[in-house]
């Protein structure tokens, strides 16, 4: 698995590849008496910031995290069942996962940290801020999952086929970011491995969000006391931008910022997204 995926470059075959500038530290941290092990990527220096990845991010490092690592010590754990993190079978529900992440933050000794997350990762960051408000110094949520409106349902991105998924995730499918993110390896074995990883990742996360992602977070968001930024792409087709208002209404004092882009905003415009997060969390 590539832990430094993010920067667009051309390969010999004409395909677009993406590489980040930073090679992060890569380690395993066990919690829950060894029942759950997190793979944690980290880089940078400064105030701790913990980033929780989304459903369709492979859990690798990215240019967005590169930018944040210029100002923060960034920790990017992979969710259980994803890319070397294990123990998803030991977790029953979102609360279990939240408690496991609380133990991870204790093990990482990040103290009162800033948290950020995209989509499912934003949901987990918000759960931590609601259940353990004293632990969180600031919160930056990018198109977070976790609320539900029957009149504006989020797309079920767990089951969309690749040819339909790309246009839902990206505002511009011709961009290097979109082409790199959606590209499959030319090598047959690598292609099979990538497909297997994708299925396993989605299955692991589906345990906590299927069939709909409303797992009671709406009843807990009033407990969030950290300054909160709700960041959204104005052309998000996966998670309707109307949800930004729902989050703002439920978290006292939350700020909303819309940026040009789609659901994968942090991959389409990593500099602008990172600047927005940093400016708010400062």
d(CA 265, CA 273): 7
Question: How confident is the model over 241-282, as pLDDT tens digits?
Answer: 999 999 999 999 999 999 999 999 999 999 999 999 999 998
* pLDDT 10s digits, 112-160: 999 999 999 999 999 999 999 999 999 999 999 999 999 999 999 998 9
CA–CA distance, 244 with 256 (Å, rounded to integer): 7
DSSP state of 90: G
Contacts of 68 by beta carbon, 8 Å cutoff, 6+ apart: 44, 49, 51, 74, 116, 274, 277, 278
* 216-244 pLDDT, tens digit each: 999 999 999 999 999 999 999 999 999 99
Q: What is the pTM of this model?
A: 0.92
The neighbouring-strand residues paired with 31 are 36
DSSP notation for 25-51: EEEEEEEGGGTEEEEEEEEE-SEEEEE
Domains and CATH numbers, the chain: 8-281 (3.40.50.1820)
- Percentage, residues of the chain above pLDDT 90: 83
Instruction: Determine the Cα–Cα distance for residues 217 and 228; give it in Å rounded to an integer.
Output: 15
Pairwise CA distance, residues 21 & 65, whole Å = 10
Cβ-in-10-Å burial (0-12, 13-18, 19+) of 12 comes to exposed
């Amino acid at each position: 698995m590539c832990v430094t995926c993010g920067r667009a470059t051309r390969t010999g075959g004409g395909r677009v590849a993406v590489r980040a500038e930073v090679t992060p530290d890569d380690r395993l941290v066990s919690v829950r008496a060894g029942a759950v092990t997190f793979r944690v990527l980290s880089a940078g220096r400064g105030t701790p910031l913990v980033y929780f990845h989304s459903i369709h991010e492979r859990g690798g490092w990215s240019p967005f995290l590169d930018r944040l690592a210029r100002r923060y010590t960034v920790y990017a754990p992979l969710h259980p069942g994803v890319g070397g993190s294990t123990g998803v079978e030991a977790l029953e529900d979102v609360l279990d996962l939240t408690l496991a992440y609380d133990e991870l933050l204790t093990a990482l000794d990040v103290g009162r940290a800033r948290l950020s997350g995209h989509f499912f990762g934003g949901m987990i960051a918000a759960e931590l801020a609601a259940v353990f408000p004293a632990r969180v110094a600031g919160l930056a949520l990018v198109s977070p999952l976790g609320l539900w409106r029957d009149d504006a349902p989020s797309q079920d991105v767990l089951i969309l086929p690749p040819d339909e998924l790309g246009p839902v995730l990206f505002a511009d499918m011709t961009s290097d970011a979109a082409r790199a993110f959606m590209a499959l390896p030319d090598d047959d074995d690598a292609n099979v491995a990538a497909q297997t990883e994708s299925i396993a990742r989605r299955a692991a996360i589906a345990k906590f969000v299927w069939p709909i992602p409303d797992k009671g977070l709406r009843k807990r968001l009033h407990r969030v006391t950290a300054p909160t930024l709700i960041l959204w792409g104005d052309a998000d087709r996966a998670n309707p931008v109307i949800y930004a208002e729902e989050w703002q209404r439920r978290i006292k004092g939350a700020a909303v910022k819309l940026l040009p882009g789609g659901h994968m905003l942090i991959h389409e415009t990593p500099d602008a997204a990172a600047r927005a997060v940093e400016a708010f969390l400062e």
